[in-house]
Amino acid sequence: MQFTAQQIATLIQGKLDGDPNAQVSEVAKIEEANERSLSFISNPKYEEYAYTSKAAIIIVNESLDLSQPVNATLIRVKDAYSSFAFLLEKYNEMISGSSKTGIEQPSYISANAKIAENIYIGAFSYISENAVISTGVKIYPGCYIGNNVIINENAILFSGVKIYDECIIGKNVVIHSGTVVGGDGFGFAPQPDGTYKKIPQIGNVIIEDDVEIGANTTIDRATMGSTIIRKGVKLDNLIQVAHNAEVGEHTVIAAQTGISGSTKVGKYCVIGGQVGMVGHIHIADGTKINAQSGISKSVTNPNTTLNGSPAFEYKNSLKSQAVFRNLPELQQRIQKLEETVFELTSLLSTQNLEYKK
């Protein structure tokens, strides 16, 4: 499938600089592109590739000031990264079979489930009683949809996704393979004999609109009430969100992070990989947490940046790390100072004794 520079520029509302009839048939990284490739430059650090790349068409920021001529046709836009992401999305739709519709067999759909038109249900999927599947939903093979689950318009569930009873999935939600939504929260009451008694988990999970959830992530149902993933949240692979937790709008969380029960994460937070949060705390809006940090208490000030375990203010944590790395040298210096002080003290004592004589 081939596209011209003019077609691409029209699609992303860019300004052409070069041959409007230049053609591409693939997308590629700027450093690996060939004569058939479309690529992009959004970071000024990669400007040098504009002069050496073999790409036929390169999308660049309109603010990029080139110091040399280039062979490629340029398409200038306000934000090259966002424009290229938009093109990748459209390209992926064309090659991924996302236009699939219909119900494949074998699959099971309860007689009282409500199934809209223009949907896709892949083979070996199971749709339970009173489930609601809305227009444009795509459920890939091997998915399980529990009783009374509601899946709203244009949601996509990739192969092997499990949605437990009573959960609600918003519009335009994307859930990747192996994810479990609505499994029991980790609730066990200690008994006098040292055993643990399971606390029934009777709540659900609510995932609002425009959320994307990576592969093999688990979001537990609430003990009572709802575990909530707010609008626009992006969760990476292998994340654990515990019962009654809440993740605020447009927060992004990287892989292997764990959020304990009843913790509330604010809006527009950025959380690195392998972050751990204890339960029953609040994370203020706009908080940024560095990878492998441990959050043991609430973050009350918005737009705070944290690092370390236990985590504290980012710049102070870096200073502390620098001091920690220098501890052996500091210890040697302190020992030398102690030796010098001891020698001076001994010398002064000797002089005082001679003076008294």
Give the integer Cα–Cα distance in Å for 331 and 345: 21
pLDDT tens-digit map of 261-289: 999 999 999 999 999 999 999 999 999 99
Handedness of CA 17, 22, 27, 30 (dihedral sign): negative
Contact 246, 227 (CB under 8 A): yes
In this structure, the answer to whether residues 175 and 288 fall within a common structural domain is yes
Name the catalytic one among 243, 250, 280, 282: 243
Write down the pLDDT at residue 40: 96
**CATH number of the domain where residue 223 is located:** 2.160.10.10
Q: Are 214 and 176 in contact (CB under 8 A)?
A: yes
Q: What is the pLDDT of residues 109-123, one digit of tens each?
A: 999 999 999 999 999
Which has the closest alpha carbon to 101: 129, 130, 127, 133?
133
The C-alpha atoms of residue 164 and residue 148 are separated, in whole angstroms, by: 9
3-class SS shares of the chain: helix, strand, coil, % to 5: 20, 30, 50
The answer to whether 243 is a known catalytic residue is yes
46 domain-assigned:
yes
Nearest to 60 by CA among 45, 39, 32, 89: 39
User: Which residue range is the domain that position 349 belongs to?
Assistant: 327-357
Same-domain check for residues 167 and 284: yes
Quick check: 232 and 211 in contact, CB under 8 A? yes
Is pLDDT of 357 > 90?
A: no
Residue 237 CB burial class (10 angstroms; 0-12, 13-18, ≥19): middle
Q: Based on the domain organization, do 88 and 182 belong to the same domain?
A: no
Together in a domain, 9 and 45: yes
Q: What is the pLDDT of residue 315?
A: 82
Position 97 pLDDT exceeds 60: no
In a domain, residue 144? The reply is no
